[in-house]
Amino acid sequence: MRAIRLALLSVFLGPLLAACATSGALTPSASVTTLMAGWERHFGVEWVAEPDGSDARRLRGTLSVFTGDPVMDLRLLGQALDAEGRVIGQRLAWAGDVGGSGRVSFEIRHLPAAERYRVAVWDYTSLQADGKE
């Protein structure tokens, strides 16, 4: 019986531990802009780039939740891009918690002056309306 429990435990925990080990290795880059594929269906992001000191820029905006489910621990990725679309600077910023169908303001500071910018949802925890994750 103990062997069966250990086998079942390894079947369930093995993939979970492997996923945890690999997900921590992902960092933002030109090709990796989110850990949450399809985030655009759940959120809307509006923002503007503003001066933030002499050579830096700040991205200031609002994120809206479309799903109706509360979101916790939301992080955004702001990237500064050159004329060819290469990332020349990036920052992760906490946007915090957002109620279902709510909005939250955000700032991503200290990005370099650039040709253009982009903002993406990096990651978050979604809570179902009944309180289950």
67-100 pLDDT, tens digit each: 889 999 999 999 999 999 999 999 999 999 998 8
- Cα separation, 93 vs 106, in Å, equals 8
pTM exceeding 0.75: yes
Instruction: Give the pLDDT confidence score for residue 26 in this predicted structure.
Output: 86
pLDDT at 18 over 70: no
Does the residue 122 lie in any domain?
yes
End-to-end C-alpha distance for the chain, whole angstroms: 32
Does the residue 11 lie in any domain?
no
pLDDT at 16 over 70: no
Residue 69 is which amino acid? Answer: D
**How distant, in Å, are the alpha carbons of 8, 45, 72 from that of 34?**
32, 14, 16
Could you give the number of structural domains in the chain? 1
Give residue 81's domain range. Answer: 30-126
Does the residue 67 lie in any domain?
yes
CATH classification at residue 61: 2.60.40.3230
- Cα separation, 5 vs 52, in Å, equals 57
Does the residue 72 lie in any domain?
yes
Does the residue 40 lie in any domain?
yes
Does the residue 2 lie in any domain?
no
Q: What is the mean pLDDT of the chain?
A: 84
pLDDT tens digit sequence for 95-122: 999 988 899 999 999 999 999 999 999 9
Does the residue 117 lie in any domain?
yes
Does the residue 23 lie in any domain?
no
pLDDT at 2 over 80: no
**How distant, in Å, are the alpha carbons of 31, 129, 133 from that of 77?**
13, 26, 23
